[in-house]
Structure 1
Amino acid sequence: MSNPNIKNKVCLSEEQRQRLKDISRNGTAPVKKVLHARVLLMADQEHPEGRWTDAQISEALGLHVNTIANIRKRFVCAGEVPALERCPRLTPPTPPKLDGEKHAHLVAICCSEAPTGRVRWTLSLLVNELKQRGIVTEISRETVRQSPKKNELRPWKKQRYCIAEKDTARFIAQMEEVLDVYTTPYNPEEPLICMDEAVVELQADVVPSLALEPGQDAKEDYHYDRRGTRPVFLFIDPFRGWRRVKSYEHRTRIEWAHEIRHVLDVEYPNVRKVKLVCDNLNTHHIGSLYETFPAEEAHRLARRLEIHYTPRNGSWLNIAEIELSVLHQQCLDRRIPDEVTLEKELQAWQQERNQSHAQVKWQFSTEDARIKLHHLYPQF
């Protein structure tokens, strides 16, 4: 029998009663939500066995009578959902150490230069810096650690890659010039030659290496004797499948000029002109010929040389870089003790590649560049 003087009577509709039964039976709802659903079902004025009193519900479910009264009150005053769910907090139980303004200060410190004598900001340095600037009086390292993580800041990491040229118009102009040279039909009277340089570090074993054996990998001691470096010049004719590799003691204008004269007078003595693609290094210039040879000789060589420079930070456009990668993988990826061994290995590799007429098939065209690198082109 229902008590007419009771406050906050629970009167469930048939739909509400069915929803609460489903919640209390499905076994997947949170425990607190299930208990609140059972409280409402028991306190229902239309309960088949009669309404349960708060004391009876408390004894059956192990809840305090005040909790049961509060559930009924929220149901009557706010509705079904607030009575079942926990009321979300608008603010955390304790105020955060870093509010929006202080958090912005921390992010700014993380993105600034590290203190003198330090490579990067550490958690301890950030904590001390926040205190020294008066942003906080006390803060833990864990609180500081979580803040950069939320903003995807990783001060301990640094990516190294080729940063794009700021003058994009100049970049694409030189790029399209090189790409036009690559797509020009092959002319035996004006062959295309690409050149690039690399530095090889000479290293000798301190302890003899152990050779490969069945069931045992080759072993190499991590100690080695460093014996200087040797610059390597590489010239390649991608259409003909010819290349030349030569190492020197130094890498100056003189070495570059002698290599150019060798290509023009020994390898291509009868052609009208050689189109040379190279990067814009200060030694790769007609002036190097005049610095090395008499003016008449330098002028003669310069008239047969047409230089096309790859753009700054665009050396990937040089076919010679591809061949240098092959050279490293097939020949130089090991310890070479001296210049005699280096020259011997380079000549053996060069002879094998030339005999097989290994060519480089360049497929990146100007049309491809305007699609894939459209963000570099000025917009009109």
Structure 2
Amino acid sequence: MSRRLGTAPETGRTWRRRFLERGLDGMGDEPRPGVPRKITDADVERVIVKTLEETPKNATHWFTRSMAAATGMSQSSISRIWRAFALAPHRSQTFKLSTDPLFIDKVRDVVGLYLDPPEKALVLCVDEKSQIQALDRSQPILPMMPGVPERRSHDYIRAGTTTLFAALEVATGKVIGSLHRRHRATEFKKFLAKVDKTVPAGLEVHLILDNYATHKTPDIKRWLLAHPRFHLHFTPTSASWLNLVERWFAELTQKILKRGAHRSVQALERDIRTWLADWNEQPRPFIWTKTADEKVWRRPASLR
């Protein structure tokens, strides 16, 4: 029993003995030594109800100080109650639900490609990371030292922007990339032509992409008619998390863009190309683990 409940064997023996001696009366807590409780269960309930159902008059959410003033308790008591019941009024998260009427069908289509890709075909996750800014700090970056993190000025100098078009191969993690100063249908068409040249002629090409207007222009549709081996699979609206290339963009942002300093767009593009080449030398695929039906009813946390 103790192993099933995750308790020490001695604890299990103690409760069993108390039940045999006094029945259900022996299962309650015995008086404990020390100072009696000053905060009653009613006090705890009052704090929880105020936290969940009310807001202070002069703020959008409760702080320990304002809740202590409203209840007559100490800030430390409020803090302990909030921690005990996993309440964090200072935290807030954002979300957006897709209103796509074909949401479930599109999720099943895309996830089906991830879990059971067609034979003699390549599945590519496609998107563009637009408006990547070449930023240089206004003062030199101070390097990390023992006990001191790297330091940089909060202000920066803009030197222009570029756009990265990327196609992530689901099976291997390799990425086809192309940099352009603009992100119109013209540039997307050039990128499709590059993908067409890169993928062996004997393979069908399945592209997973979002509903951006440049992906659906008449010129793009004419190009697709002239290249029938290309098949487009659109993610639902407001569901960019379904596209695995977004996870790859997060890697690029974290490792190159977030703390990078570039005095020109050319320098920025050079670093991106270098990082892309290094990635493709040792690519790492992102493994999708949830079925479509599991994914529809859970928040997107199954990328690893």
Shorter-chain-normalised TM-score: which range? 0.5 to 0.7
- Find the structure with the greater CA-based Rg: 1
Q: Where does residue 40 of structure 1 map in the other structure?
A: none
1:332 to 257, 260, 265: 257
Higher relative contact order (CA 8 A, sep 6+): 2
User: In 2, are the aligned partners of 1:186 and 1:239 still within 8 Å (CA)?
Assistant: no
Work out the percentage of aligned pairs sharing the same amino acid. 21
Structure 1, unpaired ranges of 5+: 1-27, 30-106, 111-120, 125-141, 147-155, 374-380
Structure 2, gaps ≥5 residues long: 1-34, 37-53, 60-65, 71-88, 300-304
Instruction: Please report how far the alpha carbon of residue 315 of structure 1 lies from its aligned counterpart in structure 2 after TM superposition.
Output: 1.1
1:321 to 246, 249, 253: 246
Task: Return the alpha-carbon distance in structure 1 between the equivalents of residues 158 and 296 of structure 2.
Answer: 46
* Structure 1 residues 277 and 346: alpha-carbon distance in aligned structure 2, compared to 1, 3 A threshold: same
Alpha-carbon distance in structure 1 between the residues aligned to 2:111 and 2:282:
26
Scaled by the length of structure 2, the TM-score of the pair is 0.64
Counterparts of 1:1-380 in structure 2, within 5 Å, are: 123=58, 159=92, 161-166=94-99, 170-185=102-117, 187=119, 189-198=120-129, 199-264=131-196, 266-285=197-216, 287-289=218-220, 299-301=225-227, 303-334=228-259, 335-369=261-295, 372=298
- The whole-number CA distance in structure 1 between the counterparts of 2:265 and 2:202 is 33
- In 2: Cα distance, 1:307 partner to 1:286 partner: 13
* Greater percentage in strand: 2
- Give 1:17's aligned residue: none
| Shift in alpha-carbon separation, 1:163–1:298, aligned structure 2, 3 A | closer
The aligned residue for residue 136 of structure 1 is none
Distance 1:287 1:308 in 2: 17
Cα offset, 1:237, TM superposition: 0.2
Whether the 8 Å contact between 1:256 and 1:288 is mirrored in structure 2 is: no
The whole-number CA distance in structure 2 between the counterparts of 1:161 and 1:197 is 23
Secondary structure of 1:328's aligned partner: helix
Conserved in 1, the CA contact under 8 Å of 2:108 and 2:293? no
Deviation of 1:259 after TM superposition, in Å, equals 0.5
Question: 1:90 — aligned with what?
Answer: none
Q: Distance in 1 between matches of 2:159 and 2:90?
A: 33
**How far did 1:159 drift?**
4.8
Residue identity opposite 1:165 in structure 2: S
Distance 1:162 1:247 in 2: 31
Distance in structure 1 (CA, Å) of the matches to 2:107 and 2:127: 17
Deviation at 1:245, TM superposition (A): 2.7
Query: What secondary structure is seen at the aligned counterpart in 1 of 2:144?
Result: coil
Once residues 173 and 313 of structure 1 are traced to their aligned partners in structure 2, the CA distance between those partners, rounded to angstroms, is 15
Aligned residues: 231
Does the 8 A contact of 2:122 with 2:203 survive in 1? no
Q: What is the alpha-carbon distance in structure 1 between the residues aligned to residue 211 and residue 234 of structure 2?
A: 6
**Residues in 1 aligned to 2:296 and 2:272: alpha-carbon distance in whole angstroms:** 38
Q: CA RMSD in A?
A: 3.7
